[in-house]
Amino acid sequence: MSKNIIALAGPPCSGKSAVGKILSLSLQADFIDTDCVIQRESGHSIEWIFSHRGENAFRAMEKRILAEIISGITGKTVIALGGGALLDPDSRTLVDEKTILFTLFASTETLTLRNRGNRPLAEDPAMLTKLIGQREEHYLSLGNPVNTENRTPDQVALAVRRAALPLLSPQDRLS
């Protein structure tokens, strides 16, 4: 089955949003950042949702919104997923079935250097390091790894584009 959705997964600070924006422009595709959709729909920041409603409420919202996004896509689209979006087995299955999944990664040291501290589960280097350690096996299990170490978002987007083009549905390869 050919696909017209490219999903970007990976740990916080791996570059999913920055790369996704660039990739979508180069492919002439729509771009959706799931965290932005959650914030727009809820009227609150991700940090607020975590602190006032809790991680379980956030994950339920994330799962619902991801399913709605994917079911509503009709054209070529790039989706930047939240760092924990694919921890849910149903979301993982949906993304595996309906998208071409790429997993961005870098060393823990690089990710902590990129962290601006505005992430609810990774407010500081120690929290981010712990989170990456807890999820390392999960991230390694995801498809099509792309190393972002010592690469600009433009370079990463180009690498993903090259890998994704042959996998896109024929009508979506033209860009």
Give me the chain's average pLDDT, please: 88
Split into its structural domains, the chain has a count of 1
Q: What is the pLDDT of residues 80-113, one digit of tens each?
A: 999 889 999 999 999 999 999 999 998 888 877 7
Phi, psi of 101 (to 5 degrees): -95, 130
78 within a domain of the structure (yes/no): yes
140 within a domain of the structure (yes/no): yes
175 within a domain of the structure (yes/no): no
120 within a domain of the structure (yes/no): yes
Residue with tokens 């299955």: 93
In angstroms, rounded to a whole number, what is the distance separating the alpha carbons of residues 61 and 73?
Answer: 18
- Cα atoms in the 13 Å half-sphere on the side-chain side of 36: 10
80 within a domain of the structure (yes/no): yes
173 within a domain of the structure (yes/no): no
Domain hosting 155: range is 5-167
Q: What is the pLDDT of residues 65-76, one digit of tens each?
A: 999 999 999 899
**pLDDT at res. 162:** 94
**pLDDT at res. 123:** 58
In angstroms, rounded to a whole number, what is the distance separating the alpha carbons of residues 60 and 6?
Answer: 22
- CATH assignment of the domain containing 105: 3.40.50.300
Q: How much is the pTM?
A: 0.90
Question: Binning pLDDT at 50, 70 and 90, where does residue 171 land?
Answer: low
**pLDDT at res. 128:** 76
* In 8-152, alpha helices (H): 16-27, 34-42, 46-53, 55-72, 89-98, 108-114, 125-141
The whole-number average pLDDT for the span 15-37 is: 95
**pLDDT at res. 167:** 83
End-to-end distance of the chain based on CA atoms, in angstroms? 20
